[in-house]
Structure 1
C-alpha cells in the first residue's frame, strides 16, 4: 500500500476548494455530520423477535452482516434493535457510506471521527506508514482507551458502496482485527467483497439475510391491521398482497401509505409509488443491458447460470447471469437444493414482463429443447407450450408416457390439452389415456371418464390393464375405497401392466388400505411402490410414496414418525437435482404442515403453508385444498371466523375455477363450515350442513386428502346433539361410531371419541377420563383434538389441569386453554443452563439437527455443537435423548 498522505483527511472534491484550510478541517467538519444515528420511522412494524436476535449477536469482536436487496428495511431493523435492546445510542457509531468514501484516507477519517480517535489519526499521519498501519494504530489506541464491559457498536451502512480494492482491504482488516471493545454491523445490499469463513470458524460472524427481513404472512396482516379494521382492505386482499410481494416490506409500506392517502385503490403492481420504487431504487443503478437480462429471466419460472450461459441461448448477454444479479442485491432467491437455480420475486417478475422483449417465442423454444436434452419432460413440455410451437408440443406429448406425467405440472398439461388438435386426440388411444390421467390428477374425474369411455372395444381390449389402473385411481379420488381396491387388484393381475402403471396402482392400494385401517397391508403396498419408483428413477413418484407412508403413520396416530419421514423425504427431494418434482414435493410439505398443526405448532405450519401453497397453486395441485382447509382451521382456532369463512370461499372459487368435481371438495368445505358454525354457537346452521353431508357419509366415501373426515363428521354430529341438550342421542351416536370402526379407528378420531366420553360421563368419571386422554395424547403431542373441542372442554379442563404433571404437552394445552400448571419442586443444577443454551435445548427437544439449530439461531455449527456438549455436561448425560428426558424432569422444557 502507498503511505498515508496527510492530504488533509479527505482527498476529495472539497480539498481543492479549501486550500487555505490546514489539513482539511472543513472536510472533517463535514464528515462529522455523517456520523449520526438514523431517525426511527413512525408506524413501522414491531418485530421484537428479529430485533432481539440482532441485538443478541452484538458481542465483543462480533461481526454482523445484514445482507439484502433494496427495500427490506435493513437500516430500520438495526436501528430499532440497537435503540430497544442496547443501553444507549451513545454507545453506537453509525456511518452511512456512499460512493465518495472509496478513498482510503477518507474512509479512515470517517472511522477516526466516529470512534473519537482524531488525535490518534493526527499522530499516525507523521509515522509514514501505510493505510494498513494507520488502521492498526487506530484499533490499538481504541483498545487502550476502552474501559467498558459492553462493547461499542460500529455500524457501517451501505457497505456495497465500497468498490475500491484498497478500501475493501481496510474493511477486511477492520473486521479481522476488531478489538474486544468493539462489535461491527455491516449493512449491505450485496455480499461482502472478501471471505468470511475464518470469522465464522472463530464464532464471530453472524449473517441475517432476506429470509429474515421479509414479512411473514401474519406480520403482513399485522402491518395492515388498521386498514383491515377500517374496512379499507379485506383479509383476502391482504393475503393476495402477501402472495404477490412475498413479504417485501418497502412495496407493502408504499402501498399502505398510498391507500391511506387516496380514495381510489389500485393493485399493488399498478401503484405509482411501487412502480417508482421498482424502476428507480431497485433497477435504477443497473445498465440497460442488465435490465434487459432481468426481463429475460422473468420469462421463466426458474433461471440458472448453466441455462443462460449456454452459447446458443438467443439474445442473452452472458456477462450478467442470475447468480450475478443475486450477488448485487436483486431480489432473486436461490432455490434450495437446486444448485445455481434462482427465482425472481413475484412482484418484480410481473413488472419486468412489460414490455415484452422481442424474440420471446424463439427463446422459449430453445429452453424447451434445452430441458428436453436433459430428459426433464415436464419443463420441456411447459416451455414448448408457451412458445406456441404446436409441432414441438405434439412431438413431446406423443413421446411422453403416463409415468412422466404423474406428479408433475398439472397446470401446463391441462393448458396443453386445450392446444392439442381435436383430431389428434380422437385418433390416438394412447393420448386419450394420458390425458385421462391428467384430468384425474387434477380432480376432474368426470372428464377423465369421458375420454376413456369414448374408446372402441378393440382399443379397450388392447389397453385393458392400463384402463383398470386408471379406473382404480379415479375411484380412489372419488373416495370409493372398496371399488378402488377391487379395480386395483384387477389391474395388477394382468401381465401386460407396465412397471409405471404398477407403481401408481400400488399407491392407490396403499392409500385405500390405509383409509380402511388395514395399515400393515397398506405399508406393504407402499414398499412395493417405493421400490418400483427407485428402480425407474422416478423421483416425483418416490416423493409421493413417502407422502403415502407418512399418511399411513398419520392414520395410526404416529405423528413423530410421520414428521421424521416427511422431513427425510423433503431433504431427499431437495438434493435431487435431476428433476424438479413438483407435486410430490408439495404434497410432502402439505403433509408436514398438517402434522405440525396436529401438534399445535401453528407458527411453523404457517411458514410452511406460505411456500407450499404458492407451489401448489402454480402447478395446479388439488392438494391446495388441504392448505386452504388448514388455514380455515387455524383461523377458527384463533376465533377469526370471518377470515375462516373467507378462506372457505376462496377454496370454493379455486376449485370451481379449476373445474374440479364437486364430489372432491364439497364435503370438505361443508364440514369446515359446520365446524365454524358450531364453534360460534350457530347450531341450526351446523345441523343443516351435516344433513347436507349425509349422502356422502352414507355412501361410505373417504376423501384421499382427509381420510379421517368421516369419523370427525360423526363426532361433529355428537357435538351438535350435546349442544342441543340431546345427551342420549349423543351417547347412541358415540356407540355407533365405536361399533363401525372397531379396532381400526384412526388415532385422531379415537382421541375425539374419548374426549366426548369425558364430556358425556356420569358418576364423576369425567375428570379421570380426561386425564387419561391427556396422558395418551401427550405421547405424540396430539394437540388438535383439544383445539377443536376447546369450547366444550374448557370447564372440565379447568378442573383437571392443576393435577397434570408439567410437560411440553401440558404447557401446549395451557396455551390453548389459557391455563398454567402448578409449579412443582425442581432439582437445582450445580451449574445453571444459560439463556442461549436453553434456546438450543428447546430446539434439540423439537428434533432439529445441529445444522437446523444453527440456521434457526443464526449461529455457526461449531457453536451449536459447543452448546450441546455443555448442556450434556451440566445435565450429566451422554446423548441428546437423555438430555431431553433429564431437562423435562427438571422442568427446563
Structure 2
C-alpha cells in the first residue's frame, strides 16, 4: 500500500477573518435558506469577489459541526483528496495510516450516513478539481447525499462536476458575481470599515467603476486614503484616485492571473479588449484566430471576468477593470498597434452598420474626420441605436476639433439628451444650437433645428419641475412646425410627460400613444421604451395592471441595437418592478428593481438611477423597512438636487413627507412645508397630485383637519375625473383618518369600504402598505357580516383569496398565530387545524378537545371559509403557506 500523502493543515482551517471585514447579512441569510432546503450551494465568481471570506463567515455563524477543505491541484490525486476530506471531517487519524483510497472512502461514507446531527461541509477552490478519478467522490455525495450532510462550495468558473440533475431537482443554489457584487449600502459600509467617509456621489462613482467587485473597491479605498491622508479634506476630482486604483488592480491581476496565461490566450485578451463588447466574428477579426470560440470558452472556464450577454449583438464583455488593465498593457507596449486595432474594429463595425460603436473606435484612433463624416451621413441611425455612453464619450472627444461645431453634431448631441435626461447637457446643447444659428445663419434644415431647440426646452421644463411651461413650449412648437418627424413626436412625449406628472392621465395617454405610434413608424425600437414606461405607469395608476404587465413583457422581445440594448432593458426591468410592487409581489419587485439599478449604474451618463432608487424607497416602505426607505429618499433628493431634476425631487419629497407624518418627524416636515409653499408660489394650483396628497396629510397631522378635508376633496374630484385610482385610494384612506378624528366611525368605515372595493377591483394592494396599516382593525370589522348589514352595504365583500393577496404583506409581521389573515382564526380553530395536520379524523379531534362532532364540523367549515378553500388538503396547503402550523 503506497504511503498516504502528508496533510497540509492550512487546507483544513477556515480562512482568517479580514480585519474590519464587511458583514453581509443579505448573503448569509441566502446561504442559510439554501442549506435548510438541503440544496448544494455554489458560489461561482471570478477571484476577488469575497467567496472564501463569505463561506468562512457562514461557517462561524453556523450552529453545529462544520468541516472546511480548501482544494489544490494535488487533490486531483484521489488519495490526496480522500486523505484531506477524512481529516476535515475529523475522523480518527490512526485509521488513515492503515487505509487505502477505498478504505478511506468507505469510512467517510459510513461516518456521514451515521451522523446524528447536520454536518456542514464547505469546499473552497472547487475549480481546481479536474480529474474524473477525484471528483467522482464529490459527485456521489451530490447524487446520493447523506441525510445529515449540508454541502457548500466556492469556485472560479463552472466546476467540472455534473450539476444538471441538481438543477432539475431544485437542489442547486447558484450565487454568482451579480449577487456577490456590493450594493450601494455595502459599498458605504466597506468604506467606513476602512476609515474612509464618502459622500453619496463618491459612493456611486466607486460602485459604478468597480461594478461591485470587492477587490476593486478595496484598491480604490486604499488609493483614496493615500491621496487624502488622515483627516484630509475630500478631493474635488476623484479621477486620479480611480486611475491609481486601476494601477493597483492591474498589478493584482498580473500577479494572480495574467502572468499564468499562455501567450496566445493573453494576446487574444489584449486584442479583444479594444472594444467594449464583441461577438465571435469580431473576436476572430481582432484576435487573428479562427478558433476564437475556443479562446472564449477557455476564458469562461477560467472565469476571467468575461460576461456573456445572451440576445445582444455584442454578446461578450470584460469587466471594466480587466479591460482597462489589458488596454494599458498594449498602450504602453505598442501604441501604434493599438490604433490599428481600433481602426480595424471600426471598419468591421461599419460593415455591420453598427455606427455608434464604430464612432467610438474611430474616436479612439483619433480619426475625427472619419467620425464627422459618419455623423453627417448616419445621424438618424445613431439616434435609433441610442448608445448612450458611446455617444456622450464621442461628443466629449470631438469637442473643439475642427468641424466639431456643425449643426449635425449639435443635433446628434440633442438626441442623446432625450435619453440621458442630463439637464446641464440639455442647457449646453440649447446654447450651442442658438450660437450656431447666430454664427452660421440659416442651416440646411431650419425647421429641424428649431424643433430640436423646442424639444430640448420642453424636456428641460419637464425635468426641472416647470410642467405647465413645458406643455406651453411643446404646444407652440407643434403649432409652428407641424412637420411630421421624430422631433415632433419627441415634443408630444415631453407634453405627455408633463401631463402625467400633473395628473392629467387621459390626455397624457392620448399624447403618449400617438408619439409611440409615430416613433415606431420611424423604426426607433429602443428609445420607444421610454414611452412604453410612461404608458405603463399611466395604466398602473388607472388600475390596468395586467395591460401594463403585458406592455413591459413585450419590451424584452423588441429588437435592440448594439450595447444600447442593455440601456433600454433598464425600462423593461423598472416597469416590471412597478407592476409587481403594486400587485404586492414585493420580493419579485425587489429583484426587478435591483436589475434596473445595476443597468443604471452601467450608464453613468444617464440620470435614470435616481428614478430607480425612488421606486426602491417606495418598496422599502411597503416592506416595512422605513429606515432604508428614508436613506434611499435622502439619496434621491441629493441626486436630483445635484442634477436639477426638480420634478423627481418634489415627488420624492412628497413621499418622504408621508413617511415623516407616519413617524412624527417634525424636523423633516418643517423643511418640506417650506419647499411646498415655495412651489405653490411658483406654480399655483399646478402641483403634483402626490404633493397635494402629502400636504393634506401634513395638515391633518398638524391638527388642521378642516383644511385637510378641503384639499382632499378637491384632489378626489380631480383624480376621479382622470380615473387615477391609485391616488384616489390614498385619498379615501385619508378621508377615513379625518372621519375618525371627528368621531364619525360609520363615515370612516364607508370610506374604507370604497377603498377596499377599489383596491380589490383594480388590484391596488400595494397602496395599502403605507397608511393602510393604521386602519387594519377597522378593515377587519368592515368584513364581518354584522357590520356590513349594519352599514347597509349592498356590494359583497371581496373574496377571501383577493383579501389575502391585498393584505398578506401587511399581516406578515403579526406575532400571534392565525393573525396572518384578514379574518383571523380563533384559538379553537387553530387547535382543530393543528390536529387536521396530524391526520386526525373529525371524531378523533372531537374526542381530544372534548367537544361534539357537530362543533368540530362547524370549526372546520369556518376554517374553509377563512382560508378560502373547499377541502382538508387545500386548508393544510394554505396553512403551510401562511405559516400557521407548528
- Select 1:187's aligned residue among 144, 154, 158: 154
TM-score normalised by L of structure 2: 0.72
- Offset of residue 764 of structure 1: 1.3
Q: Find out whether 1:812 has 2:798 as its counterpart.
A: no
1:713 maps to 691
Displacement of 1:743: 1.0
SS of the counterpart of 2:710?
Answer: helix
Distance 1:111 1:244 in 2: 40
In 2, distance between residues paired with 1:833 and 1:278?
59
CA shift, 1:393, in A, is 0.9
Partner residue of 1:197? Answer: 164
Whole-Å Cα distance in 2 between the matches of residues 41 and 619 of structure 1?
Answer: 32
Q: TM-score, normalised to structure 1's length?
A: 0.71
Question: What is the deviation of 1:411?
Answer: 4.7
- Which of residues 677, 687, 702 in structure 2 aligns to 1:691? 677
The 8 Å contact of residues 519 and 528 in structure 2, kept in 1 or not, is answered as: yes
State the 1:722 CA deviation. Answer: 3.4
Task: Report which stretch shifted further, 547-556 or 615-624.
Answer: 615-624
Instruction: Give the equivalent residue in structure 2 for 1:475.
Output: 458
For the 8 Å contact 1:466–1:501, the answer to whether it is kept is no
**Is it true that 1:648 corresponds to 2:637 in the alignment?**
yes
Is residue 380 from structure 1 mapped to residue 358 from structure 2 by the alignment? Answer: yes
CA distance in 2, matches of 1:751, 1:270: 53
RMSD: 5.4
The CA distance in 2 between the partners of 1:747 and 1:547, in whole Å, is 18
Matched, 1:341 2:315: yes
Partner of 1:585: 569
Q: Deviation string for 1:458-482 (max 9, x for gaps)?
A: 9689665895587467536633475
Q: Specify the alignment match of 2:611 in structure 1.
A: 626
Q: Which residue of 2 aligns with 1:208?
A: 175
Residue 361 in structure 1 maps to residue 336 in structure 2:
no
SS of match in other structure, 1:581: helix
Give the deviation of 1:767 after TM superposition. 3.8
1:547 shift after superposition: 1.9
Separation of aligned partners in 1, 2:580 and 2:672 = 27
2:69 aligned with 1:95: yes
The runs of 5 or more residues in structure 2 that have no matched partner are: 235-240, 462-466, 784-802, 840-868
- The one-character-per-residue Cα deviations of 1:621-660 (angstroms, maximum 9, x if unpaired) are 343442354467678973476774454233333x26xxxx
Q: Distance in 2 between matches of 1:744 and 1:601?
A: 26
In structure 2, C-alpha distance between the alignment counterparts of 1:223 and 1:735, rounded to whole Å: 49
Contact 1:829 1:875 in 2 (8 A): no
SS of the aligned residue for 2:307 comes to strand
Larger deviation, residues 75-84 vs 484-493: 484-493
Which deviates more from structure 2 when the two are superposed, residues 809-818 or residues 65-74?
A: 809-818
Q: State the secondary structure of the residue aligned to 2:688.
A: helix
Describe the superposition over 1:517-561 as per-residue Cα deviations: whole angstroms up to 9, x where unpaired.
Answer: 676676566566656666665431443343233122133144564
Residue 626 (structure 2) aligns with: 638
2:792 matched residue in structure 1: none
User: The residue matched to 1:72 in structure 2 has which SS?
Assistant: coil
Distance of 1:177 and 1:604 partners within structure 2: 33
Q: Residue 406 of structure 1 contacts residue 438 of structure 1 at CA under 8 Å; is this kept in 2?
A: no
Q: Tell me which moved more, 731-740 or 594-603.
A: 594-603
Match of 2:372 among 388, 394, 401: 394
SS of 2:556's partner is helix
Q: Is the 8 A contact 1:570 1:589 kept in 2?
A: no
In 1, are the aligned partners of 2:122 and 2:151 still within 8 Å (CA)?
yes
Greater RCO (CA < 8 Å, at least 6 residues apart): 1
Cα displacement (A) at 1:210: 2.5
Distance in 2, matches of 1:227 and 1:33, equals 27
Query: How far does residue 505 in structure 1 lie from its aligned partner after superposition?
Result: 6.3
- Retained in 2: the 8 A contact 1:469–1:491? no
In the alignment, does 2:776 pair up with 1:773? no
**Corresponding residue number in structure 1 for 2:790:** none
In the TM superposition, residue 397 of structure 1 has moved relative to its aligned partner by 0.7
Classify 1:396/1:461 alpha carbon distance in 2 versus 1 (closer, same or farther; 3 Å). closer
Structure 1: stretches of 5+ with no match in the other structure: 1-5, 11-26, 126-133, 657-661, 701-708, 835-871
Q: Structure 1 residues 283 and 398 mapped into 2: Cα distance closer, same or farther (>3 Å)?
A: same
Paired with 1:384 and 1:122, the residues of 2 have a C-alpha distance of: 67
Q: What's 1:330 paired with?
A: 304
Matches within 5 A, 1:140-159: 142=109, 146-148=113-115, 154-159=121-126
Please give the alpha-carbon distance, in whole angstroms, between the structure 1 residues aligned to 2:716 and 2:204.
Answer: 41
Task: Tell me the equivalent position of 2:744.
Answer: 764
Aligned to 1:106: 80
SS in 1 for 2:353: coil
Q: Which residue is 1:77 aligned to?
A: 54
Q: State the distance in 1 between where 2:480 and 2:685 align.
A: 24
| 1:7 match: secondary structure | coil
| 8 Å contact kept, 1:517–1:745 | no
Query: Per the alignment, do residues 181 and 551 of structure 1 end up closer, same or farther by CA in structure 2, a change over 3 Å counting?
Result: closer
In structure 2, do the counterparts of structure 1 residues 570 and 218 end up closer, same or farther at CA, with 3 Å as the change threshold? farther
